[in-house]
Amino acid sequence: MENRGNFTSRLGLILATAGSAVGLGNIWRFPVETGQNGGAAFILVYLLCVLLLGIPMMTAEFVIGRHTNTDIATAYQRLAPHQPWYITGYAGMLCVTMILSYYSVVAGWILKYTLDALSGTMAFITDSSAYFATFKQSPYLPVVFALLFILLTHMVIRRGVQNGIERFSKLLMPVLLLLMIALAAGSMTLPGAKDGVSFLFNPDFSKISSAVVLNALGQAFFSLSIAIGCLSTYASYFKPDVNLLKTSVSVVSLDTCVAILGGFIIFPAVFSDNNVSPDAGPGLVFETLPSIFRSLFGEGAFAGYVFSLMFFTLLSLAALTSTISMHEEVTTFFVDRFDMRRGKAASIMTFTSMVLASFCAMSFGPLKDVHIIGGFTVFETFDFLTAKLIMPLSGIVLSVFVGWRLKRQLVLDELTNNGSIRIPRIVTAAFLFILRWLAPIAIAAIFVNELLY
Ligand code: PHE
């Protein structure tokens, strides 16, 4: 078998894992969901999900990955031979393939905006809603950009874990963070920004319904890349001395900060622009960002040019560190399971997601009237099946598996690195309690409640 590789530094592995978590989920999906689910009340539920369920479940996935050092399906099989748990591993791979496909469409839109920023056209877009609508409906351009994005992902994956994934993330994540802080500060100076901030901070509790809670849960899982095998795949590259619990606290904190920053960039701008409403849906970011740059710097200004170019470039790269983690999960599976060459394994995943992505990309244009489930287009179906169905269900299985099925000692050994790290008893007790009781019951309740009523 090929050498599987390892992340070589602590910072590198945190940033690579945070790279998987931080992406369009934070800067595109989070504002869209927040806007459609009533603002601050949604954010509160989201934070609860992230804190109570996110950290323990991410750690649980790390336990599986680092203990077995292999792909997610084999990992479940090795830990529970001849039992059907491994089906979750396959469901996870199906899920990331679907996410990669529709995510690349949005990433492709970002890529297009990056080129617009580069060529200077962005500074002159006066009606960003109309501009976005024309672009996303065009029959082939969004497909081309989505495919291009998958090809970029393919190129990094081919280079392997250290030279590709780790090196890349270490460079990128800090710059992204700084730029986002600057942009949020800028966005808050726009006229009318106050209303945006109060939309983010003043919860209206009457808005919390079971649908809002399921959406918040789905968003938390999506944003943290939880329960479908990406994290366990990355953890299979962790060295034995990595502190799993600390790593998840760092990754979850980073991810949450970036999501909130995303809100601070988008909503002040939304409320200062009369043409855009907070519940505009997937186009929200694409309609507001160009107008933020225009209002902040003026039409055609050089500072606006530099800023927008940097921002969209970084956003593309943040999306790339996430698509890499999705791609890697399935590529690793082919390499580990079938002893396939990395290049060949990667090509299979690339080809499959390219085909699916083409349908997703067209579901805003030529295929916009093709509905799969309910009134959902292909794109919306993929989003629904992954974030609202497979991720929560896999989340239940993951918690039950690590909480009940794995030997307690094995879990404790992974948490403490065989006794070399001291973890207060109360922390391990809380960790096990959440995995055994709170997570499965809460997720199941939210899920059933939303499905039945
Ligand atoms: N967490 C990523 C983001 O927020 C998306 C993602 C989902 C990545 C699932 C991997 C697996 O953009």
Q: What is the mean pLDDT of each run of 10 residues along the chain (453 residues)?
A: 64 84 93 93 96 97 96 96 96 97 97 94 84 92 97 88 67 83 88 91 90 92 95 93 95 95 91 81 85 77 82 88 94 94 95 98 93 90 91 96 97 96 96 97 87 68
294 to 284, 291, 303, 404: CA distances (angstroms): 16, 5, 10, 55
Q: Please count the other Cβ atoms lying within 10 Å of the Cβ belonging to residue 408.
A: 11
Measure 173 CA to ligand 1 centroid, in angstroms.
15
Hey, which of 322, 327, 330 would you mutate to test ligand 1's pocket, going by the most ligand atoms within 8 Å of its Cβ? 322
Closest CA to 389 of 229, 214, 220: 214
In whole angstroms, give the CA distance from residue 58 to residue 204. Answer: 30
What confidence score (pLDDT) does residue 255 get? 95
In whole angstroms, give the CA distance from residue 281 to residue 396. Answer: 28
Q: Is 21 in the pocket of ligand 1 (CB under 6 A)?
A: yes
Q: Is 129 in the pocket of ligand 1 (CB under 6 A)?
A: no
In whole angstroms, give the CA distance from residue 64 to residue 73. Answer: 11
Measure 321 CA to ligand 1 centroid, in angstroms.
9
In whole angstroms, give the CA distance from residue 206 to residue 179. Answer: 35
Whether residue 38 contacts residue 196, with contact meaning beta carbons closer than 8 Å, is answered with: no
Measure 416 CA to ligand 1 centroid, in angstroms.
27
What confidence score (pLDDT) does residue 191 get? 87
Whether residue 71 contacts residue 332, with contact meaning beta carbons closer than 8 Å, is answered with: yes
Any idea what DSSP says for residue 309? H
Any idea what DSSP says for residue 395? H
Hey, which of 28, 50, 172, 222 would you mutate to test ligand 1's pocket, going by the most ligand atoms within 8 Å of its Cβ? 222
Q: Is 223 in the pocket of ligand 1 (CB under 6 A)?
A: yes
Angle separating helix axes 342-362 and 302-338, nearest 10 degrees = 130
Whether residue 354 contacts residue 147, with contact meaning beta carbons closer than 8 Å, is answered with: yes
pTM of this prediction exceeds 0.85:
yes
Residue 158: burial class (beta carbons within 10 Å; 0-12, 13-18, 19+):
middle
In whole angstroms, give the CA distance from residue 60 to residue 400. Answer: 10
CA atoms within 13 A on the CB side of 238: 33
What confidence score (pLDDT) does residue 2 get? 45
Tokens in use for 68? 């077995």
What confidence score (pLDDT) does residue 39 get? 94
Q: Is 325 in the pocket of ligand 1 (CB under 6 A)?
A: yes
Whether residue 334 contacts residue 347, with contact meaning beta carbons closer than 8 Å, is answered with: no
Closest CA to 27 of 212, 249, 284, 199: 284
Task: Give the 3-state DSSP-derived string for 159-179, with helices as H, strands as E and coil as C.
Answer: HCHHHHHHHHHHHHHHHHHHH
What confidence score (pLDDT) does residue 450 get? 75
Distance of CA 411 to the CA centre of its chain: 26
Measure 322 CA to ligand 1 centroid, in angstroms.
6
Vertex 208, ends 202 and 212: CA angle to 5°?
Answer: 110
Q: Please count the other Cβ atoms lying within 10 Å of the Cβ belonging to residue 208.
A: 17
CA atoms within 13 A on the CB side of 278: 26
In whole angstroms, give the CA distance from residue 71 to residue 160. Answer: 15
Closest CA to 266 of 210, 166, 187: 187
Q: How many residues make up the chain in this entry?
A: 453
What confidence score (pLDDT) does residue 440 get? 97
222 to 30, 183, 185: CA distances (angstroms): 10, 24, 26
